[in-house]
Chain A
Amino acid sequence: MAAAGAGVGAGAGALASFVQDFVAGQQDARAAEVAAGVKDGSWTVLQLVEALGSCLENTDPRTRGRGIQLLSQVLLQCYSLLQEKEVLHLVLFYENRLQDHHLVIPSVLQGLRALSMCEVLAPGLAVSVLKAIFQEVHVQSLLQLDRHTVYSIITNFMGTREEELKSLGADFTFGFIQVMDGEKDPRNLLVAFQIVRDLIVKNYALGPFVEELFEVTSCYFPIDFTPPPNDPHGIQREDLILSLRAVLASTPQFAEFLLPLLIEKMDSDLQSAKLDSLQTLAACCAIYGQKELQEFLPSLWSSLRREVFQTASEKVEAECLAALHALSACLSRSVLSSDTEDLLDSFLSSVLQDCRHHLCEPDMKLVWPSAKLLQAAAGASLRTCHRITRSVVPLLLEQYTKHPQSSQRRTILEMLLGFLELQQKWGHVEEDESALLSLRAPVCSVVFSAMTDPSVQLQLVGIRVLTVLGSLQGFLSPPDLELVVDHLLRLILHEEDSQSSEAAMEAAGSLAPIYPQIFSGRMVPRLGEELQSEREEEGSRAPRSLQQRCLQALAAVSTRTSIVRETIPVLLQHLRRVQKGSEAGNAQDVVSVCQSLHRVALQCQQDAESCWYYHQTVVPCLLAMAVQAAMQESTHPLQGKALLEEEALAAMVPVISAASTHLSPELAAQSVSHVVPLFLDGEVSFLPQNSFPCSFQPFEGGERLEAQRRLVALLMAFVCSLPRNVVIPQQERLLRELLALSCSCNCPFTATTAAKCFAGLVNKHPAGQQLDEILQLAVNRMEPGLAEGPHRTQALTLLLWVTKALVLRYHPLSSRLTDKLLGLLGDAELGPVAADGFSLLMADSPDVLHKGCHADVRIMFRQRFFTDNVPKLVQGFHGAGPDVKANYLKGLSHVLNHLPKPVLVTELPTLLSLLLEALSCSDRVVQLSTLSCLQPLLLEAPQIMSLHVDTLVTKFLSLASSPTMAVRIAALRCAHALTSLPTTVLLPYKARVIRALAKPLDDKKRLVRKEAVAARGEWFLLGSPGR
């Protein structure tokens, strides 16, 4: 007992001295210690009040203020520990203090804020606190922070005591209006706007104060606020705009006051005010109904129309159209009572009345603004769409026939297209109601007339309209469809302009999945006939281009399994014919067929059935043809085989790859069990027409088998595209064979392909002992190969591809291989190739080692490669001899060129000096890649680049007279990009740059002159009025 008493006594003593220190000694830190004492139970709040006793009653307001400040600060930390009774007394005390001297008020408010957060606040106290504040405090004469405290108290109570506050009725609203009236600080406004929004959204009684509440907030509209430079609070103009808009557009009760204000501000000279008004209008339409809008519709429409007709700003136009869309949607939504007029109808009437006649003047400026307004209104709802298309579409059809010029017809048809696209948005055409259906005949005849017009531009629009019509379910009748197919066929095969025929193919491609029967039944056979017949009467008219178009069209329409089953045999049949042919340029024909086959493969990927049909039809067929050609080559080497040329094989790679990437694991396993034995053991039994004169042994040595070895490309296309979980039979043996081939083959194509195939497999090989062994084997083959001998280039190629495979999957061995590569940069013979190899490492490769063929690619591998190796490159550069320095710069610029720009910008300061040095390098590739690296940096990091403006100007100007056109162009683009640096930095150079740029204006190459004109024009505008 005694000990405890002594403890309490000691505690009381300490408390008293803390209080003394804080109040008289002005030691602010004591507050925290007092609060800590309350928290750990050394003393209670009551004891604190007792200890403060005399200062709270002191006659000097400063001392009283200091005392209350201490109490408030402690409460702010300890409010959750208070008992209900304590809170009651404290509240009464603080309320009473509100009448005290103005010096005391800030601390009193802090105390009340602490109490407003208490959960145990007795019912009725919240109301009494607010009443006291409303009554005693003139909020707007307080400092910003203290006003903020008042808002916080109100916010806290609104969060926890909603019911109580609502019992105050409209008095609460009125009290708050007085509190915020005249507020100027953006930080406080954000809170105040939030309170007003809550008042409205949570249905507090506004009573007779709706207009006052509107006035007290709308006086800030439109927001005119520019954050001060170095603003620590980070409040943007946009924050204020959005929070004020949330208030203004929160209730229809404001409509009668707000709409006139918006109409007035739309007329403002300030574009920001216009935009804000339009956006606010659109926001209001989400909650308004006919009643609110009725009175203002004519003025709103006339303002919107005026802006769209007159504005130069696309932004204003877009916002006007959005607002009109919202207005029409709002009117469409409103439920009509029987006795009211349908406002939508009269509104659309006035829109039509003001815009419709402009559509009849397809040459005049207002034709498009009018069409856009009508389309914005029509896009709002099914009703508006019907109403407007019913009126406009017949008019446009009539105008089309009235205007014979194709440029006018094009404008009219483009507008029609816009209206039809809106129809598309509302789904299928309803039989009974659609005005459009009754116009089927005239619409079709207009479209067909456009497609037969000599003007390509008109044809193009016609084709687009046709595509939209086709997508409107039930619009085109079967006889129409036959005509459609015939027109498309005519354009595809016989239209001279390639743009039109391409557009027609694209249209065929989008219509084919909707009408598969008519396309496979009518179009595919005709294309097949054309492919065949044209070879017989050769020489009459550019047969190759016609053939090309047939192939592309066949690919375009292959969008459904049923069509693919028709087109694939046609394509493969054609490929066989091409291969048998003997003319020169056959390889190009093979490539064309392969391109079409590739496109079909991509279109089949998503559908399992098509995918498997495609795979088991196309892959064996291609392999069989290639194997057969290779064997004939082995026996009769003089007969050139188109199919075996590098170009042709390279074109077959993506076909096989695309046919294999999306196979299900089971089917892939089935297929791999045929293909791998074909290459390892010459197992040809699964190929169609498999009676071959000799055996297929691509991995055997011997000069005569060179042709067979090239087919490793097809093996690569297949095995490197399989999903990672597919087990490859005899994989170790296959890897050893590939490794041997890649290091020893004299043919660069075959060696590179084998290296890529090896790399593709290694990348997907599961980690473990087997992988380590095979990699060790590879290293053992490579190292002596790189050191000396006839196959150094092959060894380097293998090194590059294996390094890439390992870098992509973050394999630990990758750093050793990369170091090897870095070492080779100093090699006189291999250095330049090694430097270009960095581009191979960083770029996406098109056929193997990319995500699409299931390779193991970590997303950040480029950044990681950059961090690991760039310091070494920089170090190597500084240590290198003058003849190989360029290799390091080239390697570096390849790495930088492939790095994501945001990463590059952050790494820039460390590398900039080296890049500037690279500009002086005489190697064209280094100059070019450095310039293309610097150009985006000038745009994105102007501040950092400003520091080097002197060097940059000098270098760019000197490179602008490089002997290489591409360098001159890049240097001038950089000189152009320099203008995005701060004007003050550039002005000292303006005269010099303008003088220097006069020379490239007379460059012998037009493309250089074009860049010079753009750059010089921009430099003239620098620091000049009107920029």
Chain B
Amino acid sequence: MVGPGPGGGAAPLENANPLIYRRSGERPVTAREEDDELPDSIDDREIFDLIRSINDPEHPLTLEELNVVEQVRVKVNDAESTVAVEFTPTIPHCSMATLIGLSIKVKLIRSLPERFKVDVHITPGTHASEHAVNKQLADKERVAAALENSHLLEVVNQCLSARS
């Protein structure tokens, strides 16, 4: 499903000096959230908080710091149980695009209630093989098959591990 492995050790980085963005702080806890009775619906920021700290497979940076994910490109509808996330590869030929998409998708599947339908795709017009990548990410069977591959699973898990 994905071409080359992660750019570890010897292989030169595809984009050695990328633009970096500031991390948003922890979401402040409101008095409402501390009230036992009132329900809090799942909103865009909550979904963004789930994916912003995913590690980039190439850089020691998060997807948020590389601006691969942004809060404005996250859409959630709690009532209808749908989530749509657009992500933007750092360069149009980024070979990691599928892997990044897969990490986002896996993170959301693991973190959201089952009722949600999760749609992850590339921000239109930002990647050379946008269509092919989107198709792979939308195909349930191919996603499941990718996670059977222990090498791929390892890379995805590394992206999802809390940074030490």
Contact = CB atoms under 8 A, between A and B. Distances in A.
Given A365-B18, A1024-B153, A1027-B157, A1006 B40 contact: yes
Nearest to B36: A965
A365 B17 contact: yes
A637 to B, nearest CB: 36
A1004 interface: yes
Given A269-B9, A1002-B113, A1026-B155, A1007 B39 contact: no
A1006 B22 CA distance: 24
Q: Is the interface of B mostly helix, strand, loop or mixed?
A: loop
A309 B33 CA distance: 42
A1026 B161 CA distance: 8
B111 to A, nearest CB: 4
| A: contact size bracket | 20 to 34
Interface string A903-941: 000000000000000000000000000000000000000
B157 A1025 contact: yes
A438 interface: no
Contacts, number: 85
Interface in B7-60: 9, 13, 16-22, 29, 33-34, 36, 39-40, 42, 46, 49-50, 59-60
Given A312-B60, A1026-B161, A1009 B20 contact: no
A1007 B34 contact: yes
Interface string B55-74: 00001110000000000000
A366 B162 CA distance: 23
Given A998-B114, A1002-B113, A1025-B154, A1007 B33 contact: yes
Given A363-B20, A365-B59, A1016 B110 contact: yes
Nearest to B39: A1004
Contact of A1021 (B19, B114, B160): B160
Contacts of B33: 1005-1007
Nearest to B32: A1006
Contact of B40 (A309, A964, A1005): A1005
B110 A1006 contact: no
B163 to A, nearest CB: 9
Contacts of A191: none
Interface in A974-1027: 998, 1001-1002, 1004-1007, 1009-1010, 1013, 1016-1018, 1020-1021, 1024-1027
B140 interface: no
Given A1002-B115, A1005-B33, A1013 B50 contact: yes
A514 B37 CA distance: 52
B136 interface: no
Contacts of A269: 9
A1027 B161 contact: yes
A364 interface: yes
Given A1007-B29, A1009-B46, A1017-B110, A364 B20 contact: yes
A958 interface: no
B111 A1016 contact: yes
Contacts of B36: 964-965, 1005
Given A1006-B46, A1009-B46, A1021 B113 contact: no
B84 interface: no
A1025 B157 CA distance: 7
B111 A1017 contact: yes
B99 interface: no
B120 interface: no
Contacts of B42: 1006, 1009
A1006 B61 CA distance: 26
A407 B65 CA distance: 13
Contact of A364 (B17, B50, B153): B17
A1017 B46 CA distance: 16
A769 to B, nearest CB: 53
A407 B18 contact: no
A964 B36 CA distance: 7
Nearest to A994: B110
Nearest to A315: B164
B19 A363 contact: yes
Interface residues of B, number: 40
B146 interface: no
Contacts of B13: 310
A215 B104 CA distance: 51
A155 B74 CA distance: 70
B18 A364 contact: yes
Contact of A1026 (B19, B21, B22, B156): B156
B67 to A, nearest CB: 10
A532 interface: no
B161 A1021 contact: yes
Interface in B78-134: 107, 110-115
Interface in A287-327: 309-313
Interface string A439-457: 0000000000000000000
Given A311-B60, A312-B60, A1001 B113 contact: yes
Given A1016-B110, A1021-B160, A1024-B157, A364 B40 contact: no
A361 B18 CA distance: 10
Nearest to A363: B19
B113 A364 contact: no
B49 to A, nearest CB: 8
Nearest to B106: A1020
Interface in A356-372: 358, 361, 363-366
B113 A1025 contact: no
A236 B61 CA distance: 34
Contacts of B157: 1021, 1024-1027
Contacts of B50: 1013
B61 A1001 contact: no
A998 B153 contact: no
A1004 B50 CA distance: 17
A1026 B99 CA distance: 14
A30 B17 CA distance: 77
A312 B113 CA distance: 33
A1026 B155 CA distance: 6
Contact of B111 (A311, A964, A965, A1013): A1013
Contacts of B162: 1018
B154 A365 contact: no
Given A1025-B157, A1027-B157, A1020 B150 contact: no
B34 A1017 contact: no
A487 B5 CA distance: 54
B2 to A, nearest CB: 14
Contacts of A1013: 50, 110-111
Contacts of A364: 17-20
B80 to A, nearest CB: 14
Best-surrounded residue of B22, B110, B158 (most CB of chain A within 10 A)? B110
A321 to B, nearest CB: 15
A1005 B39 contact: yes
Contacts of A964: 36
Nearest to A269: B9
A971 B65 CA distance: 32
A363 B20 CA distance: 6
Interface of B: 9, 13, 16-22, 29, 33-34, 36, 39-40, 42, 46, 49-50, 59-61, 107, 110-115, 150-151, 153-158, 160-162
The 6 closest A-B pairs by CB, nearest first: A1026-B157, A312-B60, A1026-B154, A1002-B113, A1025-B154, A1004-B39
Given A1016-B110, A1026-B153, 14 more contacts: A269-B9, A312-B59, A363-B21, A365-B20, A965-B36, A1006-B40, A1006-B46, A1017-B107, A1017-B111, A1024-B154, A1025-B151, A1026-B161, A1027-B157, A1027-B161
30 contacts: A311-B60, A313-B60, A358-B17, A361-B17, A363-B20, A363-B21, A364-B17, A364-B20, A365-B19, A365-B59, A365-B61, A407-B22, A998-B114, A1001-B113, A1002-B115, A1005-B33, A1005-B36, A1005-B40, A1006-B40, A1006-B46, A1013-B111, A1016-B111, A1017-B160, A1018-B162, A1021-B160, A1024-B154, A1024-B157, A1025-B154, A1026-B154, A1026-B156
